[in-house]
Amino acid sequence: MAIIVDNDTRLVVQGLTGSEGRFHGLRNRAYGTNVVAGVTPGKGGQDVEGIPVFDTVADAVEQAGANTSLIFVPARFAADAVYEAIDAGIGTVITITEHVPAHEMLRAYTYLRPKGVMFIGPNCPGVLSPRKANAGIIPAEMFSEGAVGLVSRSGTLTYQIGHELTQLGLGNSTIVGIGGDPVVGASFIDVLEKFEADAQTELIVMVGEIGGDEEEKAAQYIGEHMRKPVLSYIAGFSAPPGKTMGHAGAIISGSSGTAQAKKDALEARGIQVGTTLTEVAQLVAERMK
């Protein structure tokens, strides 16, 4: 098993005819993902190396059976692309696009949440279920199949922990990059809930960073609702207050949103927090013996 994307994923790439959409869409297909369609308004009837292109997501759903959307459109069109995918009946929407205005994402979030859509992103690396499907920009060659679930706010740190685990002979059930913007679709809790219910996943690694309180909320959820072990890493212990560090959401104010506050909240619930990603991987190896 796996979560979010798997062998049943039928992927439509919104923006497939653009340079980024084409590059990663074809990489995802080469990995084994069932990329059934692309969407670019005005280019319906064309194809990208055999992948049919439609004018609308509704056409891709009706004619190609798409059930998952991967969005690679410019930021000014991203929110509209999300609405289009949802209205076409897509159940999983993954938005790679960065620099999407927070107020537009907030409106999109309030629109999609009651509909039960699994929305990942924006400004995220996507989702990978090794040997099943890759929907996004995650370098799949770094990961192997296994029993460790991974959810992260940071793309780069996701890749590093995947490499560290692979070096120790450990694999992943699914890797989920939820994105580092102030407003994102799926939270840590949304993904943790799915990992808890997934038969393949035996242990979860949660990679957080400074800013916001999502890690603190996750700590409470883990303590109250999860039976599977969770390990964590928090990036940003050296970040100065009031300064954005990389992601738009990675900003702290006073003592709120600091790495130390997140670490304390997690450890108060019995969740081990590694000081480095290498240490986290070693902790995982010890737990998986």
Handedness of CA 107, 113, 117, 120 (dihedral sign): positive
Predicted local confidence at residue 211, as pLDDT: 78
Residues 81 and 171 in one domain: no
Predicted local confidence at residue 94, as pLDDT: 98
Instruction: Tell me the one-letter amino acid at 99.
Output: H
Inter-residue contact 239 to 245 (CB < 8 Å): yes
CA proximity to 69, closest of 4, 17, 152, 143? 4
Model confidence band, residue 212 (pLDDT cutoffs 50, 70, 90): confident
Domain containing 7 equals 1-123
CA proximity to 222, closest of 202, 187, 193, 201? 193
CATH number at residue 242: 3.40.50.261
pLDDT tens digit sequence for 167-206: 999 999 999 999 988 899 999 999 999 999 999 999 999 9
> Of 80-84, 102-106, 247-251, where does mean pLDDT reach its minimum?
247-251
Q: Is residue 54 part of a domain?
A: yes
Give the mean model confidence (pLDDT) for residues 243-261: 57
Q: Is residue 131 part of a domain?
A: no
Q: Is residue 132 part of a domain?
A: no
Residues 147 and 288 in one domain: yes
Model confidence band, residue 243 (pLDDT cutoffs 50, 70, 90): low
CATH number at residue 16: 3.40.50.720
Residues 117 and 149 in one domain: no
Per the structure, the count of domains in the chain is 2
Residues 166 and 281 in one domain: yes
Specify the DSSP class assigned to residue 240. P
Q: Which of 90, 123, 156 is the last residue of a domain?
A: 123
Residues 104 and 206 in one domain: no
Residues 173 and 210 in one domain: yes
**φ, ψ (nearest 5 deg) of residue 186:** -85, 140
Q: Is residue 11 part of a domain?
A: yes
Residues 95 and 35 in one domain: yes
pLDDT surpassing 70 at residue 256: no
Q: Would residue 247 show up in a list of annotated catalytic residues for this protein?
A: yes
Q: Which of 88, 123, 158 is the last residue of a domain?
A: 123
Handedness of CA 104, 107, 157, 240 (dihedral sign): positive
Q: Is residue 64 part of a domain?
A: yes
Task: List the catalytic residue out of 24, 163, 225, 247.
Answer: 247
Q: Which of 93, 123, 153 is the last residue of a domain?
A: 123
Q: Can you give the pTM of this predicted structure?
A: 0.92
Q: Is residue 265 part of a domain?
A: yes
Inter-residue contact 171 to 125 (CB < 8 Å): no
Q: Is 126 left (phi over 0), alpha (psi -120 to 50) or beta?
A: left
Q: Is residue 103 part of a domain?
A: yes
Residues 259 and 228 in one domain: yes
* 13: β partners: 38, 70
Handedness of CA 53, 59, 65, 68 (dihedral sign): positive
Residues 104 and 189 in one domain: no
Residues 184 and 99 in one domain: no
Spell 55-79 as b/e; 16+ CB within 10 A means b.
ebbbbbbeebebbbbbbbbeeebbb
Q: What is the spatial distance between Cα 273 and Cα 156, in angstroms, rounded to a whole number?
A: 18
Residues 201 and 251 in one domain: yes
Q: Is residue 179 part of a domain?
A: yes
Residues 163 and 200 in one domain: yes
Predicted local confidence at residue 251, as pLDDT: 46
pLDDT surpassing 60 at residue 254: no
Give the mean model confidence (pLDDT) for residues 12-34: 98
pLDDT tens digit sequence for 157-166: 989 998 899 9
